[in-house]
Amino acid sequence: MRRYVVFVGPSLPRAEVAALLPDAEIRPPVRHGDLLRLDVGAEDAVLIIDGLFLQTASVRHREIMYLLQRGVTVAGSSSMGALRAAELWPYGMRGFGEIFRLYRDGEIDGDDEVAIVHGTAEDGHRAYSDPLVGIRIALRDAAAAGAIGQDDARLMVDLAVAMPFRSRGFRALETVARGHLPAHVIEAFRSWRSARDPDAKAADARLLLAAAAAGDPELRPAGLGDRPVRNVHTWDFEMWEHRYHGAEADGAWVADADAATALRLVHPAFPGLHRRQVLARVAGLDPDHPALAEHAVAVARARGLEPPRRDGWLTEQDLAGSADEALATLLVRAFGVTHGRAWTKWDLPPELRTPAAMAWGREVVAAARRCRERLLGPVPDGGTRRRFRAEVADRVIAGEWGCDPGDLTGHAWDRGIADLAALRRLAEPFVALLKSRQAGDAEMISDASAVTSVAW
């Protein structure tokens, strides 16, 4: 059975959506990242009616194209859905309704045509203004019905265009128009509108939902006749996917980004796997090559690289060992530390990108969140989360890694972390869990014993 996910509000109330499409999964207006959180497949359909654009980043085109590429049916109407469908219909996003047609045919092109002010989810996303496109359509239809003249309708459209979108509304427009048009024209439009209560967004939303309920063949995945979707997986898209995609662990949502951080910081196999991955890139060999380090060192020496007696990447302890080992460590740190960009899960060694490894990371994150709240308390309303002192965090991380706190920077480099400040920032969410685990029952509060269930 096809699964329908509907992003809606304020074009239609949830109750009406549920009545028109009873099996729909109803979600708030779509925003950037929401589509990447969905667990949908080729048999499913995502219907976008409303979306956020000002208070948060709007849904990106590549997020929609990602679903289209995977064979998911994506359709839009009314508001953000109509806008994105008009932009992406050549690639197979399906559009429904008058507002979609106006955008697609170039009769309107501004984002503010569908922008309104509305309330929160708790308020049912109640609308506090009217969209320009709805005013435009109402004036067009009133003129076509002979209720007002064509010139009067055009003037009122121009007045509506000049209004800030936050202030737009039929009543506000009628008030402004009193300085430009005879009172009988305004009254004629008001009477015409009151008898019909035109709401273009709602009408288009109902059209889309009725089509879904009826199994309209137009609601189909991208295919023959549509432009192929290519080049979705840019570096920016991978960052979005890493930040927003994820899964639940112990009833809590954990993003891939957080799971990957847990793997980098506390998985016992990470340093060795990361080392082999970096040396493999230097040597041009497979990470499983039995003489990988020797080949990487030989490549480095062939290019004139030798570890200096003093180097920012090497400690006195590193330089006290063999020259080959020091050079291998230098390569891992110089080529394996990330500067100026965030990681994605694709930066993890392949062995730690598996579903099982990511699930392990999510369990660690979930346990760390529980333990942090138990030890530090919840975040106060309007306040900031308490943090551990730097010396406490350093001691706990060093205890986890089996090193002296003074050697943390080198060990951070061995995990691809640029410096001590970056390490403290990444490790902060996990300090409570590690501290409790290292201290044992003596420092753990009575209800925090569940955190020990995560297998290291």
For the segment 196-220, what is each residue's pLDDT rounded down to a tens digit? 878 999 999 999 999 999 999 999 9
pTM: 0.84
Residue 182 and residue 273 in one domain: no
Residue 345 and residue 418 in one domain: yes
Whether 323 is in a domain gets the answer yes
Which of 232, 256, 278 is the C-terminal boundary of a domain?
232
Residue 451 has pLDDT above 50, yes or no: no
Residue 178 and residue 304 in one domain: no
Question: How far is the C-alpha of 68 from the C-alpha of 51, rounded, in Å?
Answer: 18
Which of 204, 232, 260 is the C-terminal boundary of a domain?
232
Residue 146 and residue 281 in one domain: no
Residue 303 and residue 202 in one domain: no
Residue 130: which domain range? 1-232
- Which residue type, as a one-letter code, is found at position 271? P
Whether 242 is in a domain gets the answer no
Residue 226 and residue 251 in one domain: no
Residue 175 and residue 262 in one domain: no
Q: Quote the mean pLDDT of the chain.
A: 91
What DSSP state is assigned to residue 403?
S
Number of structural domains, the chain? 2
Residue 205 and residue 315 in one domain: no
Res 313: pLDDT: 85
Beta carbons of 127 and 197 less than 8 angstroms apart: no
Whether 237 is in a domain gets the answer no
Tokens coding 100? 């979609």
Whether 431 is in a domain gets the answer yes
* Angle between the N-to-C axes of helices 183-196 and 132-144, in degrees from 0 to 180, rounded to the nearest 10: 100
Residue 195 and residue 124 in one domain: yes
Find, among 331, 320, 327, 297, the residue nearest to 416 by Cα. Answer: 331
- Which residue type, as a one-letter code, is found at position 181? L
Residue 263 and residue 404 in one domain: yes
Give me the helices (H) in 145-216, please: 150-162, 170-177, 183-196, 200-214
Rg of the chain on CA atoms, in Å: 29
Residue 33 and residue 58 in one domain: yes
Which of 232, 256, 281 is the C-terminal boundary of a domain?
232
What DSSP state is assigned to residue 379?
P
For the segment 36-89, what is each residue's pLDDT rounded down to a tens digit? 999 999 999 999 999 998 889 999 999 999 999 999 999 999 999 999 999 999
Find, among 57, 56, 75, 66, the residue nearest to 8 by Cα. Answer: 75
